Amino acid sequence: MISQNESVGSRASRLMRTTLAPLQVRDFRLLFSGQLLVGGLLSDRLRPRRVMLLADLGRTLLVSALVALAAAGQTAVWPLSLVSAPLGACTGLFIPASYTILPEVLDEDELPAGNALNSSTYQLAVLVGSAIAGVVVPLPRISPSGSCSVSGGCCMLVWWSWSV
């Protein structure tokens, strides 16, 4: 809780400390910066569209592996972690490529609006997707493998729409 005597500067300082707290952990810093650097490097070398397609293909295959694990009843932490870690890495490759592709597909005067729309869409997808998952996952008729199947189907639709 913020007291009335606390200055704006100390509020901002406290907010920055709490917001950036994960960056104080060495392993998180290395993982976070490594994914962004590797994703940016691959986008420059292989072209952003190809990196995005390959990352989405990887995510589709990994979500399919989650479906198989859930259907087999393997919901222990280690098997799920072995699939979730590369799934996060694929996302870490996709995001820099999604920002790098914008100057290739937009005119210079459209670029600020395109960057804003790209960021807003990503944030909205996280917000809405989490809200939908919060409603759908607890439903008794949908099993964990069923919800993962829906997610895998969405990944396949994205893959198909990009390859057309």
Is residue 93, in this structure, part of any structural domain at all?
yes
Confidence (pTM) = 0.63
Q: Residue 138 to residues 64, 90, 119, 144: CA-CA distances in angstroms?
A: 20, 27, 29, 9
Residues 6+ apart with CB under 8 A from 151: 63, 66
Cα–Cα dist 57/163, whole Å: 11
Structural domains in the chain (count):
1
Is residue 114, in this structure, part of any structural domain at all?
yes
Across 71-89, average pLDDT: 86
* 24 contacts 52 by C-beta, under 8 angstroms: no
What was the pLDDT predicted at 113?
A: 92
What was the pLDDT predicted at 110?
A: 92
Is residue 42, in this structure, part of any structural domain at all?
yes
Query: 3-state SS of the chain: helix, strand, coil percent to 5?
Result: 85, 0, 15
Is residue 89, in this structure, part of any structural domain at all?
yes
Is residue 156, in this structure, part of any structural domain at all?
yes
What domain range includes position 78? 10-163
Is residue 1, in this structure, part of any structural domain at all?
no
Is residue 4, in this structure, part of any structural domain at all?
no
